Amino acid sequence: MSKKWYHNWFNSPYYHILYHQRNDEEAEFFIDNLCAFLKPPINSLLLDAGCGRGRHAIYFNKKGYHVIGTDLSYSNIKFAKQFENDTLNFYIHDMRHLMYINYFDMVLNLFTSFGFFNTEKEHIKALKSFNKALKKDGLLVLDYFNREKIMRHLVGQEIKQVEDIEFHLTKTVEGDMIIKNITFEHKNKNFAFKEEVKAFSLDDFKKLFKASNFEILHQFGDYSLNPFDEEKSDRIIFICRKANA
């Protein structure tokens, strides 16, 4: 079976070169604001699903929380494991599959670590696995791009110079997907990767959360936790509660 785009791209060192600006300061700013707003008790159990190299999970752990980070990428988890301790662990795992039941106080899915699957059913399956992993009244924090702003300001073609690599980026909208093709040459070799992410609207998310037994408590539009504005916000950040079955 051929690998999906995210297996190839997220395991590539070039992914981290292109997105080097996703820095720890940004992650820590967001987490500080989240913790100030939600006030999770110290020693709460958190799941960072789609954790990448672990920048959010590591900082939550430094703040006194027990954290498990999961990601599909072998190279991401291999990198993150150097930061493990008694209250921080990382595992290769597909978020569509159940890992724990009634275990976590909070599940985090941050920085558009969602929307990669082909069908609505698969996305609902992932959300249901989050739901089942949560304790009664547990919280889900899901952070996604704001589709309306992205669609209005979509840059069709762009060149980014990072280190000694010239990345050529092409973005298109095909159906309900935003597709980014990434091509470049490095060390006399040509490379081509792509990203395919669902352009979920606010109404789409409402439907997905309802189908997976989540109740939306709050919606924010950026990492400062300002209110969500469909026209202006860069992000759409949901705070959801596991609904009573």
Q: Which of 131, 186, 139 is nearest to 162 (CA)?
A: 186
pLDDT at 153: 85
* Cα angle, residue 144 at apex, residues 106 and 223 outer, rounded to 5°: 75
pTM of the shown model: 0.93
The edge-to-edge listing of strands for the beta sheet with 165-174 is: 157-162, 165-174, 177-186, 189-198
pLDDT at 2: 47
Q: What's the pLDDT tens digit per position in 127-160?
A: 999 999 999 999 999 999 999 998 888 888 999 9
pLDDT at 107: 98
The number of residues making up the chain comes to 245
CA distance 68 to 44: 11
pLDDT at 237: 98
List average pLDDT for each run of 10 residues in the chain, which is 245 residues long: 75 87 83 98 96 95 98 94 98 95 97 93 98 97 95 89 94 91 95 94 97 98 97 96 87
| pLDDT above 70 as % of the chain | 97
pLDDT at 10: 87
Residue 23 identity: N
pLDDT at 25: 86
- C-beta separation of 204 from 146 below 8 A: no
pLDDT at 52: 92
CA distance 69 to 87: 11
- 55 CB-contact burial (10 Å; exposed 0-12 / middle 13-18 / buried 19+): buried
pLDDT at 190: 97
- C-beta separation of 62 from 46 below 8 A: no
- C-beta separation of 227 from 36 below 8 A: no
Angle (deg, nearest 10), helices 202-211 and 120-133: 60
Residue 84: C-alpha distances to residues 40, 67, 90 (Å): 21, 10, 7
pLDDT at 7: 83
**What does CATH list as the number for 22-146+200-242?**
3.40.50.150
Q: DSSP for 140-170?
A: EEEEEE-HHHHHHT--SEEEEEETTEEEEEE
